């Protein structure tokens, strides 16, 4: 703006090699970073989704900031080159001033875009329309089935842990009681014995609440029960 109000003379409008060097290095560095970021985005972009839509759906705010800022930097360098070159060729500094103002608007637009896109990370995102428009009864069992195995394993682990916590104290008390009764009975029967050793022998010593957990029949019944539960949940949600 200052250049528009007080434009320099033709003698003052001098371009040196430092200007082109700085602009060229800036474009190369920012362009390299932008190219790497876009390459990573292309690897994660789903089929049938445009790159712009994929960028707007990015869940990583740092990646989003890098893409927008480096895109603005590369575009700003090109605008600066165009403005400086036009001023040098025509001898009119207005082109350089217009390029500077354009770069300012560009950076302001990028800042506003970043603020609007990052609001979702502060306020929370709404449910994707893809899920809202989907066929709940046919797709919900498939989605929930992804987590069914993990939930089942977690329940089994908790059952075993609780079982161990319950069984051990009870087992100790029962063994102490049985040992005492057997010891007193044997002592009365064999009063001359100086030492009595008790060795428990039972086929139920390794019995567990989920004793058939590793069998194929248990897995089959587990899958059938989970399928019925998912189908019931899908029907319930569909009726609502």
At 211-239, the pLDDT tens digits run 555 567 766 776 676 677 667 666 766 66
pLDDT for the residue numbered 144:
66
| pLDDT for 47 | 80
Domain ranges of the chain: 2-125, 132-239
* Structure confidence at residue 142 (pLDDT): 64
Q: Residues in the chain with pLDDT < 50?
A: 202-205, 209
Q: What is the pLDDT of residue 61?
A: 76
pLDDT at 140: 64
Identify the pLDDT of residue 43.
82
Q: Is 146 exposed, middle or buried (0-12, 13-18, 19+ CB in 10 A)?
A: exposed
Q: What is the pTM of this model?
A: 0.48
pLDDT of residue 132: 62
Q: What is the pLDDT of residue 138?
A: 62
Q: What's residue 105's pLDDT?
A: 92
């Amino acid at each position: 703006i200052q250049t528009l109000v007080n434009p320099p003379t033709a003698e003052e409008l001098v371009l040196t090699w430092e200007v082109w060097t700085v602009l060229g290095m800036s474009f190369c560095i920012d362009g390299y970073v932008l190219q790497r970021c876009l390459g990573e985005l292309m690897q994660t972009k789903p089929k049938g989704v445009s790159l712009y839509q994929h960028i707007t759906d990015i869940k990583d705010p740092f990646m989003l900031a890098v893409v927008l800022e480096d895109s603005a930097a590369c575009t700003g360098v090109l605008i600066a080159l165009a403005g400086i070159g036009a001023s040098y060729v025509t001898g009119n500094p207005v082109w350089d001033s217009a390029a500077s103002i354009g770069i300012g608007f560009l950076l302001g637009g990028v800042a506003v875009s970043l603020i609007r896109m990052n609001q979702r990370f502060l306020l929370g995102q709404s449910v994707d329309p893809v899920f809202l428009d989907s066929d709940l009864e046919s797709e919900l069992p498939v989605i929930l089935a992804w987590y069914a195995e993990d939930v089942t394993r977690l329940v089994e682990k908790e059952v075993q842990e609780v079982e161990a916590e319950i069984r051990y104290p009870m087992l100790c008390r029962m063994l102490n009681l049985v040992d005492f009764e057997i010891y007193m009975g044997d002592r009365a029967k064999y009063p001359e014995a100086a030492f009595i050793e008790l060795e428990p022998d039972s086929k139920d010593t390794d019995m567990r609440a989920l004793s058939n957990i590793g069998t194929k029949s248990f897995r089959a019944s587990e899958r059938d029960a989970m399928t019925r539960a998912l189908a019931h949940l899908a029907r319930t949600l569909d009726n609502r």
